[in-house]
Structures are given as structure tokens and as C-alpha cells.
Amino acid sequence: MTTSSADAPRLTMVITELDIGGAERAFVKVAKGLSDRGWKVDTVSLRDAGPLARPLNDAAIPVTALGCGGFADLRAIFRLRRYLKTRRPNVVLSFLHQANIVSRLAAKGLGVSAVVSGVRVADRRRSVSITERMTRCCVTHYVAVSHSVAQAHSDLCRIPKEQITAIPNGVDVEEISQIRAVDRNSLGLSASDFVVLCAGRLTEQKSPLDVLNAVMQIRQRSADGNRIRLLFVGDGPLRGLLESEIARHHLHSTVTLCGWRADLTSIMKASNVLVLASRWEGAPNVILEAQAAGLPVIASDVDGCRDLVQDGVTGRLFAVGDVTQLTAMLRDQLSDSSNALQMAHSAVDWVRNNASWNSVVDCYNQLLRNLVAGK
């Protein structure tokens, strides 16, 4: 779509922070895609700019960091309100809970045509539901990353179903298909190792200790358990606890804490299985990326994961917190990977047909233009 700069609808996108994460990467993709489709896009991070400010700047999309802190930092509302007064956007689109609440309050009374909140996870915490209900009168529309997240958020926050639209995350299947696997030797791995990959923040939500415990059980009880290796790619508040557990159980040769890595997809292609043991999720990008990379997936049976993984067809699902079930699934793949690889091939086909970024951004573009037009 071609639109003159003067006539282009103005969109301010707001996110809590621009550190490396699934929601943040999706934010960048949507911002760049909507800019390509004729929107005059600018972006705001409530906290610092973070590493993902760079691809936005490279795409000539302005990034403003407000330098605020956590949820209790009320300065974010006033700083964003001052910013919006200068930009006068037609639409404010926010991602993540803090950014959603701040954007609603900051935009109130400024004549913004549409205030749209992006719901990335089905977060059932009381602190979330209360603030969501208190500010829902300031929201024009919601976008959820999956149908199950849309249903859960609608029920939790008493939102009319017609006020929430499900638009999934996307993935660049063709781009990922061109990426080569990282050299296993560079990670201290051998060709015969069975590599379990966990990618994401080291937080209670992601339950990294459940995966560590499953790997320990396999090492202790499986005949070929000495082949298993566990890679954590990511960082977060549980890193110290994981380091203590690794030292206590003498697992330095089995478990590697890689920190954040820019070559995650290359690591996926050198791994045997991705495990996501989250307590809750939205529509985790890491699953889509693993599926596009042809990596078998084992995930917890929570909102979002079950939208992306059909158990026994495109991957495996286990009950949340059930380390015994997770251990059994990993042991099955360790002893015979043929069924897992067949499911991974099916997952590639599913992603190719259902989760391209072009189709995702098209959905955002159509929704936002309809809202501006009052449809």
C-alpha cells in the first residue's frame, strides 16, 4: 500500500522493554511490517532502549526510552502522556501488561482514535486481573496471540468476545531454513550427544528446574543417559539457583548455561529437542522457531503451547509441573528419535501454512485501519 507521508496514519507502539524475548521480537516484526504497509510508526520502551532498539533504528523507526522502572513506577504514565501529546497518534498499540496499563491511562482524553492492548500471555494472577478490569474502559480493542489466550483473557477480565481478536505470532520459515547448525564442538558437544535445549528467560514462569530434574533422572536411570546434554540459552533471576544445583549434583559436564545468544536458531539446528516447561504462556515464539527449524518440541500443556503443538502429531505436550511425564517423553526420544523427527516434519508444514509474518502483519494492518475508520 502506498500512502504519502502527510496522509499516513500515525501509530505509536509501546512495550515494557526492548530486551531479547519473544514478545519483544514480535513487537519489532510488527512495527517494521506496519511501517512497510504505510503507517508512520514510532516506538516507546517504558524502561531502557535495550538491544532490540537497533533493528528498529535500522528500519528508520524512532525509538524512545522513558527510563522508568517496574509496575509501581507511576512516572511512566506521565512521561508517556507527554510523549503522546507531541506525536498525536491515530492509534496506540501496546505489548505486555505494564505497557498495556500505562498506555491506556496515558492516552485517556488525548483524542486517540484507537487504544489497542496486546495480550501476550494468559496471566491469571490476581494483580493482573484487577488492574486489567480497572482500566478496561480505556481500551478500544484487544489483540491476543492465540484463541485460547483470547478466551482466557476474556473470561478473566470480563471482556466482550467481540472486543478481542486473535492474531498469532509469526515466523520466517524460509529465512530459518537457510541458517546452518552451529558447530557442536564450539559448545563443548560431541556428535553422539543427545542435546536438550531450553531457550528463554530463567524465571519461575519457564520452570527451568523441572527440565534440570528430568535430565538428572534420565542420567541416573537410563542405560544411555550419559549421552544427554542440557543447554540453557537465556538469562534471568534463577541463574544463580541453577548454578548452585549444577555444582551440587556435579553436572558441569552435562549442563551448560549459555546466556543470551544471537545464534539461537543455529543452536536449535544442532540440538535434538526443545523443551519448554512453562507454567503459563501466550504463543511462544521459541516453539514456532523450533518448528520452522525442524527441531522436535516437548512443551507444557498450557494456553498458547497447545495452540501451537498438537500432541502426538506436531510435538508432545506434558502436564504442567509433571517432571515424571517429561522425563518419560525425553527418555523415549533418547532411545528412538524417529517418531519425534516425523512429528517435527509435520510441524514444519503446519508453520509454513499457518504462521508466516506476512499474514500476521496483514491481520494487524487490517484491524488497525478498520478501528481508525470506526468499523
The full set of domains in the chain, from first to last, is 10-170+356-372 (3.40.50.2000), 174-354 (3.40.50.2000)
> Each residue's pLDDT tens digit in the chain (375 positions)?
444 556 799 999 999 999 988 889 899 999 999 999 999 999 999 999 999 999 999 999 999 999 999 999 999 999 999 999 999 999 999 999 999 999 999 999 999 999 999 998 777 788 888 999 999 999 999 999 888 889 888 998 889 999 999 998 899 888 999 999 999 999 999 999 999 999 999 999 999 999 999 999 999 998 889 999 999 999 999 999 999 999 999 999 999 999 999 899 999 999 999 999 999 887 788 999 999 999 999 999 998 898 899 999 999 999 999 999 999 999 999 999 999 999 999 999 999 888 889 889 999 999 999 999 998
Tell me the whole-structure pTM to 2 decimals: 0.73
Buried/exposed 163-179: b ≥16 CB within 10 Å, e otherwise: ebbbbbbbbbbeebeeb
pLDDT at 5: 59
Tell me whether strands 297-300 and 316-318 are parallel, antiparallel or unpaired: parallel
pLDDT in the model for residue 231: 98
Amino acid at 101: I
Calculate Rg over the CA atoms of the chain.
21
Distance CA 62, CA 36 (A): 14
CA 131 to chain centre: 22
Nearest to 301 by CA among 282, 278, 324, 323: 278
Query: What are the start-end ranges of the H helices in the chain?
Result: 22-36, 53-58, 75-87, 97-107, 126-135, 147-157, 173-177, 208-221, 239-248, 264-268, 285-292, 305-308, 323-335, 338-354, 357-372
